[in-house]
Structure 1
Amino acid sequence: MKKVNIGGVPEHFNLAWYLTLKKGEYKDKGINLRWHDYYGGTGAMCKGLRSGDIDIAVILTEGIIKDIIDGNPSKIVQTFIETPLIWGIHVAADSKFNSIKDIKGTKAAISRYGSGSHLMAYINAKKHNWDLENDLNFEVIKNLDGAVKGLTEGDADYFMWEKFTTKPLVDDGTFRRIDNCPSPWPCFVIAVREDFIENHNDDLKTILNIINETTREFKSIPSIDKTIANRYEQELEDVKEWLSLTEWSQNLMDEEEITKVQNQLLELNIITEKAKYSHLVYNIDK
């Protein structure tokens, strides 16, 4: 049985993977798919792909595009979540900051350089016409637990993370959310190491077929909202809102959308050059 390692954030977006794994759907096809939680997010997964610790990653679009341009030997094979990610902008509950203008020039907590929390800080800064050289400062905090410590102890001033994941921390008074910043593109893609694509193309097709069959019907799974609320310790009304805002995809992101992402990253000096569409993606159906 072929062992395949896949990584993703331990969040509600990836419940479909858990459900297919629990039902043994990959093992039925001779594939031992092993899921690895990446609490450090996109930056940690990029490192995992580069090192070969994982073969596949469910990863933020902007982060993997930047890292492929920087030399990550991987390709995007599919969009996973079609809709934008809604990033909440959080401060400590007792922080003196109450608005976006208050945090201009202060220190952003980021999981690591090249992570979504890092790149989206630039997107937010541009949105509000900040000086990208002087108004952005960073403190690496590794993960959500590190953000709680960093903000409450004053090592950093604000933290950007998916708003529904952090909602329980807002509800219990650990954080205050002062604003939202949606990503300007589909948020999650599936990226795969090039050597895995070359050597195990049939296995990859099988994996994608299984997960896509589940995501197509995900919202109609009986009591899926209650399952998510219980598993991820979220309020049912929040889960219902999240489901209403979220759409899964079974298709490869087109060249126009990839160009849009690259144009934005180039404008923000996050990348120094744009790559050809064929360098960033692999069409498994070709």
Structure 2
Amino acid sequence: MKNFKIGGVPEHFNLPWYLTLRDKEYQEEDINLRWKDYSGGTGEMCKALREGEIDMAVILTEGMVRDIVNGNPCKIVQVFVETPLLWGIHVAENSDYNSVKELKGTQAAISRYGSGSHLMAFVNAEQQGWNTEKDLDFTVIKNLDGALKNLPEGNGDYFMWEKFMTKPHVDNGTFRLVGECPTPWPCFVIAVRDEVLEKDEDAVKKIIEIINRTTSEFKDIPSIDVMIANRYELELKDVQKWLSLTEWSQSQLTDSQLEKIQTQLKKLQLIDDKINKNRVLHKF
């Protein structure tokens, strides 16, 4: 049996992986796939991939592209979620700030440098017409739990995280939602270390085929909205809204999508130069 370790955030997007693992679908193909949660998100997973701690990751698109350009020996093998990620822009309930425009020049709380919360602060700044060199400042708070503790204490002025995962904390009064910022590209991809692709491409392909069967039918699973709401402690109406906005993918990132991402990253000075698509994308 071939052994693989895969990482991802412990969030509702990744429930299809839980279902396939629960049902032992990989074992039926002589594959022992083990999942590891990374609450720290993209930056933490990029580090784990570089160090060989995991073989694969379900990871934010822009963060993975940036890390591959910056030398992470991995390839994107497929888009996992086609629709944009809707980032909520949050402040603490006791904050004096009431709008996104007021946050110009203040301190963004991020999970870590190179994370989605870090990169999307640049995207948001550009959309707002801010100077990304002068109007952005950061403090590292590790994850959502860190933000829940730090923002009310005044460590960081705003925090960007997936809107529906943070909504319970808006509903209970810890955070206030002052704005939204969707990613300008598909939000999650599946990335695999080059060494694993070279050695076990057929097994990786099989893993992708299994997860694709589940994601293509995911919305049709009876009471899937109730399962998500219960498992992730979300309101049922919020889950239903999220499901209506979310589409999973069974296809590779397109050349034009990759070009757009690299162009944006270079414009924001998050990469020095763009690289050839063959160094980023793997096609089976």
Shorter chain as denominator, the TM-score bin is over 0.9
Q: Indicate the residue corresponding to 1:215 in structure 2.
A: 215
**2:167 is the counterpart of 1:177:** no
Give the CA deviation at 1:28: 1.1
Give the CA deviation at 1:57: 0.3
Q: Indicate the residue corresponding to 2:62 in structure 1.
A: 62
**Cα deviation 1:76-105 (Å, max 9, x = unaligned):** 000000000000000001110000111110
Give % identity.
Answer: 62
Q: Indicate the residue corresponding to 2:242 in structure 1.
A: 242
Q: Indicate the residue corresponding to 2:75 in structure 1.
A: 75
What TM-score results when the alignment is normalised by the length of structure 1? 0.99
> Equivalents in 2 of 1:164, 1:35: separation in Å?
23
Q: Indicate the residue corresponding to 2:113 in structure 1.
A: 113
1:149 is aligned with what amino acid? K
> Equivalents in 2 of 1:152, 1:5: separation in Å?
36
**Cα deviation 1:58-85 (Å, max 9, x = unaligned):** 0000000000011100000000000000
Where 1:200 maps in the other structure, the secondary structure is helix
Q: Indicate the residue corresponding to 1:254 in structure 2.
A: 254
Unaligned runs of 5+ in 1: none
Give the CA deviation at 1:261: 0.6
Give the CA deviation at 1:241: 0.4
1:157 is aligned with what amino acid? D
Q: Indicate the residue corresponding to 1:149 in structure 2.
A: 149
Q: Indicate the residue corresponding to 1:9 in structure 2.
A: 9
Give the CA deviation at 1:208: 0.4
> Equivalents in 1 of 2:154, 2:204: separation in Å?
45
> Equivalents in 1 of 2:137, 2:205: separation in Å?
42
Where 2:34 maps in the other structure, the secondary structure is strand
> Equivalents in 1 of 2:207, 2:100: separation in Å?
42
Give the CA deviation at 1:202: 1.1
Aligned length: 284
> Equivalents in 2 of 1:270, 1:254: separation in Å?
21
**Cα deviation 1:94-147 (Å, max 9, x = unaligned):** 110000111110000000000000000000000000011111000001111111
Where 1:217 maps in the other structure, the secondary structure is helix
> Equivalents in 1 of 2:83, 2:206: separation in Å?
24
**Cα deviation 1:133-177 (Å, max 9, x = unaligned):** 111000001111111111011010000000001011101111000
Unaligned runs of 5+ in 2: none
Where 2:4 maps in the other structure, the secondary structure is strand
> Equivalents in 2 of 1:37, 1:168: separation in Å?
20
Q: Indicate the residue corresponding to 1:200 in structure 2.
A: 200
**2:52 is the counterpart of 1:47:** no
Q: Indicate the residue corresponding to 1:95 in structure 2.
A: 95
1:223 is aligned with what amino acid? S
What TM-score results when the alignment is normalised by the length of structure 2? 0.99
> Equivalents in 2 of 1:195, 1:79: separation in Å?
20
Q: Indicate the residue corresponding to 2:37 in structure 1.
A: 37
> Equivalents in 2 of 1:68, 1:133: separation in Å?
24
> Equivalents in 2 of 1:237, 1:184: separation in Å?
26
> Equivalents in 1 of 2:55, 2:242: separation in Å?
29
> Equivalents in 2 of 1:168, 1:282: separation in Å?
38
**Cα deviation 1:8-67 (Å, max 9, x = unaligned):** 000000000000000000111111100000000000000010000000000000000000
